[in-house]
Chains A and B, each alone.
Chain A
Amino acid sequence: MTSLTERYLAAALRRIGERERPDVERELRSSIEDAVDDRVAGGEPADTAEIAVLESLGDPARLASGITGRPLYLIGPNLFAQYQRLLVTLLTILVPVVGVGLAALELSRDGGVGDALAAGILGALGVGVQTAFWITLTFAVLERVDIAKLDDADLTAALGPWTVKQLPELPATGRAGIGETVGEILTLMLTLGGLILLRGASLPHGGSGDTVSLLAPQLTDSWLPPALAVVLVSLIGLHIVIFLVGRWTFALAAAHAVMQALFSVPVIVLALGGSIINPAFAAEIGWPPLADGNGVVMLSIAAGVLLVTAWEIIDGFRRARRAAATTSATVEAPAGVRNG
């Protein structure tokens, strides 16, 4: 046989364990020779017959994968759902927390806004890549070590059969799930982090060593930003209470509405009054309309805050109504009905 067959065999055998290799090699070689002889006996030239036989056998990596039973995919259908769930959960928690945390840390060390942003973004990126890598690696190893030896019955025995109790809750029912509670709290923490960031933000002014702050001066010294921060922290507390209660009630929805309004109304008033951004800062970066209460930025902020707040308040009451309607309806597997 020519070098083509040798190369094919080498490519396939490379992926096969030491113990099996001699046997597989001998069998594959004789099978290829049988097939080539058959074609040559049919009148085909030896070289084209060999090419045809090898190509009909296909990619040696796939052939070897079939022989060893080792998958050609990283994470298979048995594990993919769990992999995806874990990855999404961890990324949505770790990335923002680490990003905001590092940025806040940099600010507290008197770093500039730029440094803080860079620290936050790089840190978030780093932890995201690390998390994705290690989880993927773990599942890829699991796919090969553990699952390769288990067939479906063993897998079911190990993980337990699927039952209706594992069904996730319908979205947007009155129940307060851990996922949405964490989401709400993270959003609030991000807003809080943003407030802290903005408060410390400034630009050097001229060559004099003076700085010009991002926030309007009357705001920097005002009691209002700390008060807004207190409202945000209270909102975080409220979401924890709602989670502990397990569902939205009309009283909780009303408290939620008041707190949302306590945060949003001052922000909207400030935005429309042009009292958020320091006009000197806007002039410094060469875009005076930034600070203007009738400028596009402030109008967008006012409109955005208004919309989000309205949605949040309505959603709270909607959930309270749904929860009131469904408190008695609990899902239990009927006795005597079993899977399998």
Chain B
Amino acid sequence: MINEELLGAHRQELRRGTVVLACLLALRTAGYGYGLLKTLESVGIPSDGNTIYPLLRRLEERGLLTSEWNTDDTRPRKFYRTNQAGVELAGRLMADMTDLAAALNVLNGGETR
């Protein structure tokens, strides 16, 4: 019987690092805060506004995203796009992620064999 609270805490821990990668990958196509939340949710990486909004600003500060106000729509929205540095970083992180998944698979296989 798995303690749901414990599972939730570990899941959150596991996902914490992947949110950055998910944002960088998703924003290779320009997007705004709430739209990004919906995108992440639709692919199965649900997150919160109080995580994503500060994160977007931080990534921009670190020079991984560029931003632009779009006032053509019904309401003004701040659009973010992953820049060259961000794309490169995302590529490296993605490779790491794949390696990690492969490594965990090895451990998992070794255990059940």
Contact = CB atoms under 8 A, between A and B. Distances in A.
A106 to B, nearest CB: 56
B49 A57 contact: yes
A31 B38 CA distance: 12
A159 B76 CA distance: 46
Contacts of A23: 78
Given A30-B75, A30-B77, A66-B54, A56 B49 contact: yes
Interface residues of B, number: 20
| Interface residues of B, dominant DSSP | helix
Interface of B: 32-35, 37-38, 48-51, 53-55, 57-58, 69, 75-78
A58 interface: yes
Interface of A: 23-24, 26-28, 30-31, 33-35, 38, 56-58, 62-63, 66-67, 69
A233 B35 CA distance: 77
A63 B78 contact: no
Given A26-B76, A27-B78, A63-B54, A34 B48 contact: no
Nearest to A60: B50
B61 to A, nearest CB: 9
B77 to A, nearest CB: 5
Contacts of A69: 58
Nearest to B54: A66
A63 B69 CA distance: 21
Nearest to B51: A66
